[in-house]
Amino acid sequence: METIPLSERLIFALDLPSPEDAKGWVERLKDQVRFFKVGFELFLAGGFPMVEWIQARDAKVFLDLKFFDVPATVQRAVAQVARHGVTFTTVHGNDRILEAAVRAKGSVKILAVTALTSLDEGDLKDLGFQCSVEDLVLSRARRAMALGCDGLISSGLEVPRLRRELGSGSILVAPGIRPMANVDDQKRTVTPRQAFASGADHIVVGRPIRDAADPEAAAQKILDEIAEGLRQRSQATDPKNS
């Protein structure tokens, strides 16, 4: 298992409308979190200067733009991202799109989107997919890794099977993490402990920290759950325990 600092296992989602708001959260959580997700909303407001501001504070950036366009356009877009020292970026699409992203990635790690955590099987049927969420995720995951992607974005529910099928060479990042049962637009969720016990490398968390009465305490609780999940995972894979 790769040695990743606990402060980088938790990726805080800066799903915020302005760079000022985002900077406030980076400063607020700087003692606990060293990895931040910049998505569409914040990137449109702050662009690469926002990314560079985070990096200047010795933190990593996951630029979550889910590139999905003609392959040549995706290749040029990923090349732009690679020039800015971003750690992860996301790509969504067919084999040719993923191949184009891989060609341009440089040092940035490409995470293929499998199925959004806001979708369930009913949503997939509406989109024309005649298979289970799990089968769709596994099929896309196998293709993405064969094409040279570095890892996957996937619900924690699919992490156990992905880790078994793909082994330790793939980065698994789980969004839609909920410390407790929350009712919101995420339909396929697990707890931080469950995600890491079953093989996740990183989790993405936003609202459970941002909306908490004490965000720092909420972040620490999640870090504690991550540590417990990693301990369970280590014990399960230790030959001395078999």
Q: Is residue 1 assigned to a domain?
A: no
Q: How far apart are CA 37 and CA 20, in angstroms?
A: 15
Q: Determine if residue 91 is labeled as part of a ligand binding site.
A: no
Segments forming the whole domain that contains residue 100: 6-241
**Residue predicted with more confidence, 182 or 93:** 93
User: Strand 88-91 vs strand 151-153: parallel, antiparallel, or unpaired?
Assistant: unpaired
Amino acid identity, position 231: R
Half-sphere exposure of 20 (CA within 13 A, CB side): 0
pLDDT digits (tens, 9 = 90+) for 26-78: 999 999 999 999 999 999 999 999 999 999 999 999 999 999 999 999 999 99
For the chain, how far is it from start to end, CA to CA, in angstroms? 18
Q: Determine if residue 119 is labeled as part of a ligand binding site.
A: no
Task: Check 21, 23, 31, 66 and give the catalytic one.
Answer: 66
70 CB-contact burial (10 Å; exposed 0-12 / middle 13-18 / buried 19+): exposed
144, 152 contact by CB (below 8 A): yes
Q: How many CB atoms lie within 10 A of CB 179?
A: 17
- 69 in catalytic set: yes
Q: Determine if residue 64 is labeled as part of a ligand binding site.
A: yes
**Residue from 59, 139, 136, 144 nearest 101 by CA:** 144
Q: Is residue 166 assigned to a domain?
A: yes
Q: Is residue 131 assigned to a domain?
A: yes
pTM above 0.95, yes or no: no
**Residue predicted with more confidence, 212 or 126:** 212
Q: Determine if residue 15 is labeled as part of a ligand binding site.
A: yes
pLDDT-based confidence at residue 135 (cuts at 50, 70, 90): confident
Q: Is residue 13 assigned to a domain?
A: yes
Q: How far apart are CA 143 and CA 38, in angstroms?
A: 26
Q: Determine if residue 214 is labeled as part of a ligand binding site.
A: no
Q: Determine if residue 69 is labeled as part of a ligand binding site.
A: yes
Q: How far apart are CA 41 and CA 156, in angstroms?
A: 24
Q: Is residue 133 assigned to a domain?
A: yes
**Residue from 15, 10, 52 nearest 35 by CA:** 10
Total domains in the fold of the chain: 1
**Residue from 64, 70, 57, 56 nearest 39 by CA:** 64
Q: Is residue 52 assigned to a domain?
A: yes
Task: Check 30, 58, 60, 64 and give the catalytic one.
Answer: 64
Q: Is residue 95 assigned to a domain?
A: yes
pLDDT-based confidence at residue 178 (cuts at 50, 70, 90): confident
CATH number at residue 126: 3.20.20.70
pLDDT at 114: 80
Q: Is residue 63 assigned to a domain?
A: yes
Q: How many CB atoms lie within 10 A of CB 53?
A: 16
Task: Check 69, 109, 123, 221 and give the catalytic one.
Answer: 69
Q: Determine if residue 187 is labeled as part of a ligand binding site.
A: no
- 66 in catalytic set: yes
Largest CA distance in the chain: 52
pLDDT at 180: 58
48, 61 contact by CB (below 8 A): no
State the alpha helices, DSSP H only, in the chain: 6-9, 19-28, 40-55, 71-82, 95-104, 121-126, 133-146, 159-166, 192-197, 207-210, 215-237
